[in-house]
């Protein structure tokens, strides 16, 4: 009988959790914790029936932020407060998943370049506090590649590819060869989902006096998720809008949660300008001006020569900020253009025509939860039981066994 596996993917913005073989997470909650403020009057908590709780997590922490000020314990994928992280895991196990961790193997995720010390501390928390049966710490990029195996665009189950992972806080470009990350080639962009939301908010706030200030951020987030798309060319897109504005301008209508008054907001050029930040970041930031396609190409060129073709042919998308309509097509077009120009320059200088390089960007239905879905696939594989770190191993050798987790081989 296959051991039961719980999967918890804690990201900077959101946490996805569930039990294999579920293909989608059972719960998706904000990665925040609210610690009760003892200085506040107990009146607030008594009204909500929360007076006996010391802390809350996820949506409860956000909705009760007056009595339980919300704090993030993750920064760019790295744990910044281990005490809060431990409390967060406690609620994930017992309140949300409602399982006894002693009966489960647990698959946890980590960003690239996570320190060995963080892995050891995570092992101590899992084995000593929760007494889990076994644990495996998987690199998020590797799981994202596994999530493409069931995609109609994928033709083989390989563990080599370039992962473009963009969530709420940061965007990473991570080359992976045979299940192992190439650390020296990793690139990152300090631009992700929250930046697009802020950009949209700035644009609509300048022209919409009816915008409710207390709901403005959520409105901007809704516009981003429902109306934004990636254009093929920014200047030409402006021309299309100006020639047929009735086809592109939209209206966002809502009702204020407190006053119950309806409001209407015009949605304009931010529909394509927000995602355009990926390809022309100078419209948003003066600190970072390198387009995403250029960074993807740079990351692959920084990888070993013998795996570059495979990295170009399997560019994998992961995270909610890669879900913009036409994002995959624009990224593939721009990377192909960069590669084609380099090959043409090589031919001009050498007089020898190089072998063409295939560039392929893989998108699929599980993109938003790609890391969780990839973890679910690997948790069901025959290799998982032999690669997981067990409680017996921890008791014998200590937390150092988790400094490195064995990598999966191709399952073909």
Indicate whether 307 and 239 sit together in one domain. no
Where does a domain end: 219, 244, 276? 276
Provide the residue range defining the domain that includes 198: 193-276
Structure tokens at 63: 């909705």
Closest-CA residue to 195 (of 269, 265, 275): 275
> Could you tell me if residue 407 is inside a domain?
no
Determine the distance from the C-alpha atom of residue 307 to the mean position of all C-alpha atoms in its chain, rounded to a whole number: 25
pLDDT of the residue at 288 = 87
pLDDT of the residue at 41 = 44
**pLDDT higher than threshold 80 for residue 193:** yes
Determine the distance from the C-alpha atom of residue 58 to the mean position of all C-alpha atoms in its chain, rounded to a whole number: 17
The pLDDT tens digits for 236-268 are 999 999 999 999 999 999 888 788 888 899 999
Indicate whether 322 and 378 sit together in one domain. no
Only one residue has tokens 């990029």, namely 141
pLDDT of the residue at 412 = 43
How many domains does the structure of the chain reveal?
Answer: 3
> Could you tell me if residue 266 is inside a domain?
yes
Closest-CA residue to 140 (of 188, 115, 107): 107
C-alpha neighbours within 13 Å on the C-beta side of residue 372: 28
> Which CATH number fits the domain that encloses residue 202?
3.90.640.10
Indicate whether 70 and 22 sit together in one domain. yes
Distances (CA, A) of 310 to 9, 37, 161, 329: 27, 53, 6, 19
Indicate whether 24 and 124 sit together in one domain. yes
Within 208-287, residue ranges assigned H as helices are 216-227, 234-243, 270-276
Indicate whether 107 and 172 sit together in one domain. no
Indicate whether 185 and 294 sit together in one domain. yes
The pLDDT tens digits for 305-348 are 999 999 999 999 999 999 999 999 999 999 999 999 999 999 99
Indicate whether 44 and 119 sit together in one domain. yes
Indicate whether 246 and 113 sit together in one domain. no
**pLDDT higher than threshold 80 for residue 49:** no
Distances (CA, A) of 146 to 138, 150, 176, 371, 381: 12, 8, 11, 8, 11
Indicate whether 252 and 219 sit together in one domain. yes
Asked if residues 372 and 18 have their Cβ atoms less than 8 Å apart, the reply is yes
């Amino acid at each position: 009988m296959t051991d039961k596996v719980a999967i918890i993917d804690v990201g900077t913005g959101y946490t996805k959790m569930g039990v294999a073989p579920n293909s989608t997470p059972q719960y998706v909650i904000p990665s925040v914790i609210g610690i009760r403020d003892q200085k506040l009057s107990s009146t607030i908590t008594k009204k909500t029936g929360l007076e006996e709780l010391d802390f809350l997590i996820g949506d409860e922490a956000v909705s009760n932020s007056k009595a339980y000020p919300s704090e993030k314990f993750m920064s760019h994928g790295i744990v910044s407060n281990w005490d809060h992280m431990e409390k967060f895991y406690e609620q994930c196990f017992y309140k949300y998943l409602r399982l006894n961790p002693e009966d489960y193997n647990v698959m946890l995720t980590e960003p690239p370049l996570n320190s060995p010390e963080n892995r050891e501390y995570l092992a101590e928390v899992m084995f000593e506090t929760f007494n889990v049966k076994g644990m495996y710490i998987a690199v998020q990029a590797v799981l994202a590649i596994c999530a493409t195996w069931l995609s109609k665009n994928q033709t083989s189950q390989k563990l080599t590819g370039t992962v473009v992972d963009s969530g709420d806080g940061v965007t990473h470009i991570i080359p992976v060869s045979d299940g192992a990350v190439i650390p020296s080639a990793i690139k990152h962009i300090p631009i992700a989902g929250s930046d697009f939301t802020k950009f949209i908010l700035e644009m609509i706030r300048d022209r919409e006096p009816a915008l409710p200030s207390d709901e403005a951020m959520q409105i901007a987030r809704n516009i981003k998720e429902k109306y934004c798309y990636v254009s093929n060319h920014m200047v030409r897109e402006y021309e299309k809008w100006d020639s047929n504005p009735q086809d592109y301008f939209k209206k966002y209508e809502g009702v204020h949660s407190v006053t119950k008054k309806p409001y209407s907001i015009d949605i304009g050029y931010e529909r394509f300008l927000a995602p355009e930040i990926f390809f022309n970041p100078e419209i948003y930031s003066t600190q970072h001006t390198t387009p995403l396609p250029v960074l993807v190409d740079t990351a692959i060129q920084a990888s070993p020569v013998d795996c570059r073709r495979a990295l170009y042919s399997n560019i994998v998308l992961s995270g909610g900020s890669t879900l913009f309509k036409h994002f995959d097509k624009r990224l593939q077009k721009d990377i192909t253009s960069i590669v084609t120009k380099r090959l043409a320059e090589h031919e001009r200088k050498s007089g020898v025509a190089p072998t063409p390089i295939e560039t392929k960007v893989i998108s699929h239905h599980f993109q938003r939860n790609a890391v969780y879905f990839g973890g679910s696939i690997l948790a069901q594989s025959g290799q998982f039981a032999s690669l997981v770190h067990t409680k017996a191993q921890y008791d014998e050798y200590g937390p150092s066994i988790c400094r490195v987790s064995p990598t999966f081989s191709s399952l073909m």
